[in-house]
């Protein structure tokens, strides 16, 4: 059993990264699964290099797309600097999915039989500062009389449990579907991508946690975007997807609010 007394060392640094912090756009971009980096105290969690570079550790390509969108939209971007294998910042501490000991077909030895104390330490080190930073950003904007539209950016694996996923971009929402509805309507005629609502999963699977915490109680426009990761492996694909999503958001927001 792996139990750490300290989750992050000084060398690991801050778990939360804020980019384009002075951005003036209405959109606030969030990337919970931006990195596959593990804190130095955790070694490789007993996983192979292949597993550690796969979708179980992070959302490949998502941060690159979010960075391009941040530039396009002059949007503040907040992302987590460590892998969801240590703590999935899009899940509350009460969720069994916050720290998994099995992900798809991979056993994660370093996460087996964790004590409650270790789970709490990980939440305190990674989840709380991340969600608090998002909350602070929204509060500061509210005080300054600025609007906030929360857009979370994710990627998903094209093959899951041996099943190929045909959807290319998922537009996901929780109970407030205003922005998602508008984006889906705006994109209805596009030939560029196969776009679907709440695919390859949706709120019932617990994936809208950040939106639930920050957008729904405050009535902020919000959406979660899922991009199939084979489309954004290379820079050219990342740019095409980022530009497409930028246009889609701009056009949708022009008719929806904020």
- Assess contact for 216 and 175: CB atoms under 8 A: yes
Residue 33 C-beta: closest distance to Zn ion, Å: 4
Of positions 12, 26, 59, 199, contacts Zn ion by CB under 5 A: 59
- Assess contact for 105 and 54: CB atoms under 8 A: no
Q: Which CB atom, from 33 or from 165, has the smaller least distance to Zn ion?
A: 33
Cβ contacts of 58 within 8 Å, gap of 6 or more: 33, 34, 35, 36, 83, 84
CA 201 to chain centre: 14
Cβ contacts of 94 within 8 Å, gap of 6 or more: none
Residue 36 C-beta: closest distance to Zn ion, Å: 12
Residue 154 C-beta: closest distance to Zn ion, Å: 3
Residue 214 C-beta: closest distance to Zn ion, Å: 16
Residue nearest to Zn ion (CB): 154
Q: Supply the DSSP symbol for 76.
A: E
Q: Which CB atom, from 186 or from 215, has the smaller least distance to Zn ion?
A: 215
Interaction of residue 33 with Zn ion, rule CB under 5 A: yes
Options 28-36, 157-165, 195-203, 249-257: segment touching Zn ion (CB under 5 A): 28-36
CA 6 to chain centre: 25
Q: Which of residues 123-182 bind Zn ion (CB under 5 A)?
A: 154
3-state secondary structure of 251: helix
Q: Which CB atom, from 26 or from 59, has the smaller least distance to Zn ion?
A: 59
Interaction of residue 91 with Zn ion, rule CB under 5 A: no
Query: Strand 163-164 and strand 159-160: pairing?
Result: antiparallel
Residue 107 C-beta: closest distance to Zn ion, Å: 21
- Interacting residue ranges for Zn ion, rule: CB under 5 A: 33, 59, 154
């Amino acid at each position: 059993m792996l139990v750490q007394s300290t989750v992050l060392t000084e060398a690991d640094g801050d778990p939360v990264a804020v980019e384009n912090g002075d951005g003036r756009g209405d959109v606030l971009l969030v990337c919970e699964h931006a990195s596959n980096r593990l804190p130095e105290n955790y070694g490789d969690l007993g996983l192979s290099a292949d597993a550690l570079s796969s979708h179980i550790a992070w959302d490949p390509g998502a941060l690159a797309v979010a960075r391009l969108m941040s530039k396009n939209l002059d949007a503040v971007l907040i992302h987590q600097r460590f892998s969801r294998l240590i703590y999935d910042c899009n899940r509350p501490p009460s969720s069994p999915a916050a720290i998994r000991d099995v992900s798809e077909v991979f056993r994660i030895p370093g996460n087996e039989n964790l004590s409650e104390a270790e789970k709490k330490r990980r939440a305190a080190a990674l989840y709380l500062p991340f969600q608090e930073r998002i909350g602070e950003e929204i509060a500061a904007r509210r005080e300054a009389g600025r609007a906030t539209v929360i857009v979370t950016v994710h990627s998903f694996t094209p093959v899951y449990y041996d099943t190929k996923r045909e959807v290319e971009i998922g537009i996901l929402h929780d109970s407030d579907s205003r922005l998602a509805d508008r984006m889906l309507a705006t994109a209805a005629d596009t030939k560029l991508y196969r776009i679907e609502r709440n695919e390859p999963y949706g709120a019932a699977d617990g994936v809208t946690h950040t939106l639930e915490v920050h957008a729904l109680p405050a009535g902020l426009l919000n959406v979660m975007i899922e991009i199939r990761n084979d489309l954004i492996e290379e820079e050219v694909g990342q740019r095409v997807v980022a530009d497409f999503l930028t246009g889609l958001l701009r056009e949708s927001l022009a008719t929806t609010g904020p």
